[in-house]
Chains A and B, each alone.
Chain A
Amino acid sequence: MKNLYQPNFAKIEKIEALSPSVKLLRLRKRLNFIPAQFVLAGVWGYGEAPFGVASSPYEKRYFDLMIRDVGMVSSAIHSLKKGDEITIRGPYGNGFPLEFLKGKDVVMVSGGCGIPPIASLIEYFIKNRKNFGRIYLLYGAATSEDILIKDKIKQWGKADVKILLTVDKPTSDWQGYTGFVTELIKEIKINPLDAVAAMCGPGPMTSAVEKILRPLGLPDRRIFVSDERKMHCGIGKCQHCTTGDKYVCLDGPVFNYDQIDKNWD
């Protein structure tokens, strides 16, 4: 019998500050995953926590996590340096439904620290660009400092991904949009009959965007959201990540809005 709780070890190849509160962790280990699948990363003495994988699913040599210093485990990870080891379990969860997305226009919406699974999805799209219609990334953050991986975003723009960035509090040199991500919806041109949305971000943002996507003609079943919950086991036992009759670790983290909408918690 396989021990699914047994962690593997991964060496930190690179650690880089992406913003005052977010660090990129490059781990030297091959991980076969689908964008929006996640790992449980741990530091001995602090425990484990779930993180979405941010790098390209085609990358064989390493994978990246983007970690905001917000809890016990993430804060312990922030104090690590290059060459240190962390524990890894996974990948877990379902990931975005890549086959279903094929041939369609895609609107991706992300806010704050919700960018990792979206970043991974974009890398997948770019590798398979001809299989998809128009691709949009709507990305909002509090300040321009909080827009992560700006260089990457620039590269995506050159690879036929339409980028729309917005911040709540612009500085004088800010060239993107100002205001909530919801404001950006009017800038996009999609065929609602053949389009999908993929979102990851704070709850109020995703529910606000969903309210706007519906009038555009996008049915709930084609709006995909990567959800977040507390998690201890990753294999559907511990009960921390349940939402309605679903487990975020097994049935999610990606749900279509039709599934989420009916949930009582």
Chain B
Amino acid sequence: MVSVLEKSRIPELLEDLSKKYSVAYFQKDKTALSAKGYFFPPQETLFSYLFKNKKLSLSPKPKKKFLLFGLDPIDLEALDQLDEIMTKPKEDYFYLQQRKNSVIVGLAEYPLKVPVTVGDLILDKINENQYRAVALSKIGRELIKNKNFKLEKNPEILNYPEETSGLRELVKDSEFLSEVVLWSWRTKHPIWDKLGKICLGCGICTYVCPICHCFSIEDEIKLDGSDCQRCRLWDACTLNNFAKIAGGKNYRPNQKFRYFNWFHHKFVRAYKEYGKSQCVGCGRCQKYCPAHIDIEKVLLEIIKDYKNEKSLSA
């Protein structure tokens, strides 16, 4: 027996779920941002400190669990990576608390062939009217008991194409990308000078990326001076002061260095740390870069030259 959900019942299901959970329906086409902000907000208060009684406190836990509905397989993969990054080698308390307090329901627009490794419940489209439901956790098994799901013996399973892109295919070979990106810097590939001039250093690629996670911690004092909030804010390694220390020395003194660092982290250091590129090929940075930098084209260009050189030297 297969548990299925009629497409038309999604609103009703969400309505039901919002009695118990605070529900967010993530619709990729309605926002430039990824879903990472639900667990790693653009700005969050880590600690509050009251000057009067020298009391340090953490933000209170929300009363309801948070349910995130609608992540597609690409964003689920990104979330899985971010979970790993925030757990190893040391645990990021604030991210993991928010993750622990959450329930993830994935939504694929094609029948899944590869099992998903993150989330509580996965819905995948099997025909024009129905999604198949697979529970991945205890909470997922609870959710599936909702009256909007029903059991069917042989639902029609049609073949819809998996969402993919050139970039998504490229990042599958993270070992190769790690080698090529490092090679391009060591051999002073002209593309980095070129990109250093084109990149505006605005940080948008980092903000829209579902895996980029760099941040700064800054203090804010209330206007009346009574309390101080230690906040965590999104940062971006392409911004000009990211590697600048007190006294003025900037370890990445120009945009070429800063832009390359973005690549180096994603494809070289990430591969060394976690064995994969920190890119799932979601396409957001390609779509939203105001300077129209397309990382797929960048990768293809250096791959082409890398292969040329290797075949010449062989």
Q: Which residues of A contact B (CB under 8 A)?
A: 1-7, 9, 42, 44-49, 70-74, 85, 203, 228-230, 232-233, 235-240, 242-245, 250, 264-265
Contact = CB atoms under 8 A, between A and B. Distances in A.
Contacts of A238: 214-217, 235
Nearest to A76: B219
Contacts of A250: 89-90
A261 B308 CA distance: 28
A230 B217 contact: no
A264 B185 contact: yes
B219 A44 contact: yes
Given A1-B96, A265-B257, A71 B247 contact: yes
B217 A47 contact: yes
Given A232-B216, A242-B269, A264-B185, A45 B91 contact: no
Interface stretch (B44-52, B104-112, B162-170, B294-302): B44-52
A239 B228 contact: no
Query: Closest 7 A-B residue pairs measured CB to CB?
Result: A71-B246, A239-B214, A3-B93, A44-B228, A235-B90, A245-B269, A70-B247
Q: Is the interface of A mostly helix, strand, loop or mixed?
A: loop
B94 A5 contact: yes
A240 B246 contact: no
Interface residues on B, range: 35 or more
Given A240-B216, A243-B251, A45 B86 contact: no
A245 B272 contact: yes
A131 B114 CA distance: 59
Contact of B213 (A229, A237, A240, A265): A237
A2 B93 contact: yes
B237 interface: yes
B242 interface: yes
A49 B247 CA distance: 13
Contacts, number: 112
Contacts of B46: 5
A48 B246 contact: no
12 contacts: A2-B93, A5-B47, A47-B217, A49-B246, A72-B246, A73-B246, A229-B245, A233-B217, A239-B213, A245-B269, A265-B251, A265-B261
A46 B219 contact: yes
Contacts of A85: 54
Contacts of B150: none
Interface in B171-185: 185
A244 B54 CA distance: 40
Contact of A239 (B185, B217, B221, B265): B265
Contacts of B235: 232, 238-240
B237 A239 contact: yes
